[in-house]
Structure 1
Amino acid sequence: MAIGPVQLIVLGFNHPEFHGEIIAELERLRQSDTVRVIDALAVHKDKAGELEVEHLSNLTHEEAVELGTKIGMLVGLGIDGEEGAEAGAVLGAETAEQDGVRMLPSEKELWDVIGDIPNDSAAALILLEHHWAVPLRNAVMRAGGYRVSDGFISPFDLVALGLHTAEEARRLESMEMSGANRPI
């Protein structure tokens, strides 16, 4: 079974007020077969930078540890804290190269997700598989294409394209900035 494109989204919260809305929206997307949540973690970083990690799904503890270890391979963080991160690092080292293909980014290429989370805040790390993109990705590959880059576009850049009004962009920025004082 082919897996669709996978994306790690990190959302920051200064004063999280989780009421289940995020999980409900992810569940709605899963039910429509738009995305599959591979894993989701809530990370709280206290004022000293110490981490607390909580799994955000209905997986068993064993499944959470296994998937947390996979996330540990990506960002150096496991559901079992240091032990999970160490297990992720070991598993990453064992699978970093298969058949001559480097499977994980080099140390220089790593995205320091945990370092990007400000002290005294929280973040949701959501690993998504984009089911909707499988046919597009396959068509691109059949045409000899490949991904060069990707990223979310700022609401203000969308104003320049005529896709948002300045008022809409300011409202979206205000919503984004009210959390972490920086855009998502």
Structure 2
Amino acid sequence: MEIGPVEYLILGFRGTQIHDEFAPAIERLVENNLIHIIDLVFVKKDAEGSVTTFEFDELDEVKGFAGLQGEAGGVISEEDISYTAAGLDPDSCAVIVLWEDLWAAEFAQALRTAGGSVLEGARVPRELVDAALAALPSED
């Protein structure tokens, strides 16, 4: 089975209430065939440090994710969840999402066909982009 590039994001939030306001944006990415959800897991750490995890269809507070199309299950491992939980402050939560970048599948296939591979890549944090752009000379 051919699959495009796969990436994961760990999205963090203060407090243990997971707000689903960003769910429609993810749903639009799926509907527009830009991504395919492979798995999605929520992780909560309470004030005492106890950790709970659940899938998006297991809790009413994330009902905004209920219509999300994708596999959602089994690929994100306990090790991935433990890693995420270890990085969470008490009284916070996170969403781990694993998706296929459908928008890049053709490029990835062409790269493999040409005998190439990605040697390195990273997502540049917004703060660094903002700082770099602010440091550019103005075009006045």
TM-score after normalising by structure 2: 0.73
Take 1:74 and 1:131, find their aligned partners in 2: how far apart are those partners? 26
Match of 1:75 in 2: 80
Structure 1 runs of 4+ with >6 Å offset:
none
From the superposition, tell whether residues 51 and 126 of structure 1 become closer, same or farther in structure 2 (CA, over 3 Å).
same
Unaligned runs of 5+ in 2: 57-64, 136-140
Q: 1:114 aligns with which of 76, 80, 85?
A: 85
Unaligned runs of 5+ in 1: 78-111, 167-184
Distance 1:37 1:2 in 2: 15
Task: Give the 3 Å change call, closer, same or farther, for CA 122–8 of structure 1 in structure 2.
Answer: same
Distance 1:154 1:42, change over 3 A: same
- 1:21 Cα deviation from its structure 2 partner: 2.4
Q: Larger RCO: Structure 1 or Structure 2 (Cα < 8 Å, ≥ 6 residues apart)?
A: 2
Task: Give the total of aligned pairs.
Answer: 123
Contact 2:46 2:91 in 1 (8 A): yes
Bigger proportion of residues as strand: 2
CA distance in 1, matches of 2:107, 2:84: 28
Q: Which residue of 1 aligns with 2:61?
A: none
Aligned residue identity for 1:45: K
Name the CA shift for 1:52/1:74 in 2 (closer, same or farther; >3 Å): closer
Q: Which residue of 2 aligns with 1:147?
A: 118
Q: Which has the higher helix share?
A: 1
Q: Is the 8 A contact 2:43 2:81 kept in 1?
A: no
How far did 1:141 drift?
Answer: 1.2
- TM-score, normalised to structure 1, is 0.57
Identity in percent: 28
SS of the counterpart of 2:2?
Answer: coil
CA distance in 2, matches of 1:159, 1:22: 22
Per the alignment, in what secondary structure is the counterpart of residue 71 of structure 1? Answer: coil
